[in-house]
Amino acid sequence: MSSWTSWIKDTAQSTLSVVAGTAEPIYGPEALHSVALQEDQNPKYEVKNEDLHWRVQNSTAAETQTWYIQCNNGHYAIVQIIYTNVSNIHITAQFNLKVFHPDGTFSWSTKPLSNYEFDEEKRSFYADDLSITLSEDYQTYNIKSVVDPDALVDMKITRVAPAFMVGKDGRTNYGTDPKNPWGCIRHLFWPRVMAEGAVVCKGQKIETTGQGMFVMALQGMKPHHAAAAWDFLTFQSPKYSAVMMQFKTPPSYGSSVVNVSGITTPDSLVAASTKGTVEHYETKTDEVTEWPEPTALRYTWRGKTQDGKDVEGVIEGKLDAPRKDRVDFLAEVPQIIKSIVGGVVGTKPFIYQYSQPMKLKLKIGDETIEEEGTIFAEATFIS
């Protein structure tokens, strides 16, 4: 689930020249200021209450809040709100719901929102037929939506493990002047949440009690200029939760890689860092998209506990289960605009989604732990 969907659709239909632009000059890796450079400014990876406020930039940006919930009944629910600003010319908000069913099918809804607004603190979001409220103690989101009669949502999602963010503001900045960046990418995570409530998909009520994670993201520039590829994973088990977000920039920023990752128990943050890695160590060419679709993946976490013990975690293996979905971000755009946008910016944005049981192999100091759990993973190719 990405802000790309709403971004491309809205912008292409309103101001094609704004989103398409032209190929960027080669600024080089010096123009990318990774969040890793400020990692030591927040050694405990803490998230303050105000970090959870919407940024609402007065420039090109897409902000998202996304909840990934592994339901106890075998369904998997993804709930997302997107707030998009294109050069202060076109501002939109969108609500997405995707539910993967145990039989391999899925339900999908995406609806534009009307009369949207934030509360005074920018802690909660409201629109006609929708509310997403963050509790006063900053522990629980209540999500209620009747925007789509075929996709009703009434969920309560509570953080049950430490949140984490890298650095003082979680941002990787873009620009030749570090003090005046022209773009950014920002993430913060609740690696482990508990959900309750239900969704109703075309009249079928689905209980959403389960475990998952929450990510708040900001992409403060045109998406095809910010990243050429993304990888994301959330792992949930009875004792551990793990998350990894990695992106690779286009050649204009040196094809640089930025990784943010963390592992938590219900009681504590085991480790977070910017030293993780993602490898697609086996792939096959997708005949439809021509992208190298991963068939085996390896995610590696590297960091330290707060008392200085080395931490290494690995999740690796073949993707044995059929992929959950392959999403064409431009599918909803009229064909002529799709061709123009793809041709001008050289993009073929697709996202591959997977979920299956896998094992986390974890070493904390001299202690070795193996934990069975379930992953939800996304591999995104843009350009």
pLDDT at 339: 46
Number of domains composing the chain: 1
For tokens 């099918």, name the residue. Answer: 105
CB 245 within 8 A of CB 187: yes
The H or E element containing residue 286 is none
pLDDT at 32: 98
* Number of C-beta neighbours around residue 265 at 10 A: 14
What are residue 92's DSSP bridge partners?
84
pLDDT at 349: 87
Written as six digits, the tokens of 212 are 């998952």
CB 56 within 8 A of CB 118: yes
pLDDT tier for residue 334 given thresholds of 50, 70 and 90? very low
Q: What is the pLDDT of residues 59-92, one digit of tens each?
A: 888 999 999 999 999 999 999 999 988 877 888 9
As a whole number of angstroms, the distance between CA 1 and CA 215 comes to 11
Domain of residue 283, residue span: 3-381
pLDDT at 377: 98
As a whole number of angstroms, the distance between CA 102 and CA 90 comes to 38
pLDDT at 1: 52
Largest CA distance in the chain: 59
As a whole number of angstroms, the distance between CA 69 and CA 88 comes to 33
pLDDT at 290: 94
CB 318 within 8 A of CB 292: no
Closest CA to 183 of 110, 121, 247, 90: 247
Kindly tell me if the per-residue pLDDT of 28 is higher than 90. yes
CATH number for the domain that contains residue 180: 2.40.370.10
CB 101 within 8 A of CB 75: yes
